[in-house]
A and B are shown apart, each in its own frame.
Chain A
Amino acid sequence: MPGHPAMIALLLRDLKLATRAGGGFGLGLAFFLIVCTLVPFGVGPQAEMLSRIAPGILWVGALLACLLSLDRIFALDFEDGSLDLLATAPMPLEGAVAVKAAAHWITTGLPLVLAAPLFGMLLHLPARAVPYLLISLLIGTPALSMLGAFGAAITVGLRRGGLLLSLLVLPLYVPTLLFGAEAVRRGAAGMDATTPLVFQAAITLLTCALIPFAAAAAIRINLR
């Protein structure tokens, strides 16, 4: 597989950049924390009320935290010319897109998954729902990064494309949000959550299969 070492090099570079100064690592997590602490101020501290809305709040929070760093996926590489060079490098642009979406997930989605049980406590999420929260986020957040990469590819090169990016991407997040929150709600109620989790997995697999091609096509058009 000729593109293989190049893709690993790109992944390592993106992870390194995210953790260097100005890389934005941890921003999404901090945003998630703030959303989860603001909600009790807004709706009141009653545990019963909070635990009822916790699954939805946690999923919406994760979704918004993910959205925050999407425009960085391609915009920085576009500005400094790296995207031109990647498009002419001996690596399929589709592979580069998949790698960059994966790097986004590792630096944004994965920390959210790991921190979510803690944030669930802030919202009085029932203990028996925590495994469902973990699993649904683990299965669902890769789709958020993939769909986000598609939106970022379409808006790359546009000045102040961030808002447009959000408008494009948020509707695409609806199925993942629906099934994710439903899985956690069912877990909290002690019901079987297999169906929403399977649907979530299907959405994630579908995005992983299709979006590298769609996003690479969008980038090629935007580079002209």
Chain B
Amino acid sequence: MSLLSVHDLAVARGGMRAVEGVTFTLGAGQALILRGPNGIGKTTLLRTVAGLQPAVAGRIEAAPDAIAYAAHADGLKTALTVTENLRFWAQVFGRAEIAAAVEAMNLRDLTGRPAGTLSAGQKRRLGLARLLVSGRPVWVLDEPTVSLDADSVALFAGAVRAHLGQGGAALMATHIDLGLPEAEVLDLMAHRASSTGRVVKPAGFNEAFA
């Protein structure tokens, strides 16, 4: 059974078509890595799949509340502690358990620290711990390893592998090798919009309610 199915998807950034004809299916235990040069539309594609912006064409099929999205900004409040930040997102996703996520992302020694005093890499780990507490099956990740050191990348790769092992799926845009040989790679260069530069009709007011 597929967790996320994308069919003939086209996305636009700033009113211009970026990539088109993207088709893939992610089932339980599968990971897909998006590749392509800067500006090709990886972030736009991920935001569209996450439901943050409308698709220009094509279909995205996923169970409601299946996708957990994580991007460059981690959604952390600097004035709150690591535990408070994590507990808030756990409550938003209707869960109470944060200990496993703290453990998995090696945040145990930092739980009482305000998030504002963490280093960039530690913040990133806290942001990734948020994925674990969301309990959602499909992770949509935009450059998840930015500012992580080698040990933390390995930690993160382990968390992804564990997530896949539990029947989850992951869609990631990343430039570095995560050491996930089982992950498939989709090069967006092959899907660059042939009509690059064609202006897409701006979405109407009604679609904002969709």
Interface residues, chain A, CB within 8 Å of chain B? 2, 5-6, 8-10, 13, 16-17, 20-23, 79-82, 84-91, 213, 217-218, 220-221, 223-224
Contacts and interface: CB of A to CB of B under 8 A. Distances in A.
A70 to B, nearest CB: 19
Contacts of A213: 209
A223 B53 contact: yes
Contacts of A90: 65, 92-94
A6 B52 contact: no
B89 A21 contact: no
A72 B71 CA distance: 22
Given A87-B51, A221-B208, 20 more contacts: A6-B92, A6-B94, A9-B92, A13-B77, A13-B80, A16-B80, A17-B79, A21-B79, A80-B74, A81-B71, A81-B72, A81-B75, A82-B75, A82-B77, A84-B71, A88-B51, A90-B65, A90-B92, A91-B92, A223-B53
9 contacts: A6-B94, A8-B91, A13-B77, A79-B73, A84-B71, A88-B50, A88-B51, A88-B69, A224-B47
Contacts of A223: 52-53
A2 B80 contact: no
Interface of A is mostly: helix
Given A23-B79, A90-B94, A217 B205 contact: yes
Contact of A2 (B72, B94, B203): B94
Contacts of B73: 79-82, 84
Contacts of A91: 92
Given A17-B80, A88-B50, A88-B52, A220 B75 contact: no
A9 B79 contact: no
A22 B67 contact: no
B76 A80 contact: yes
Nearest to A18: B79
Contacts of A87: 51-52
B6 to A, nearest CB: 16
Given A9-B91, A16-B84, A220-B208, A22 B72 contact: no
A223 B84 CA distance: 26
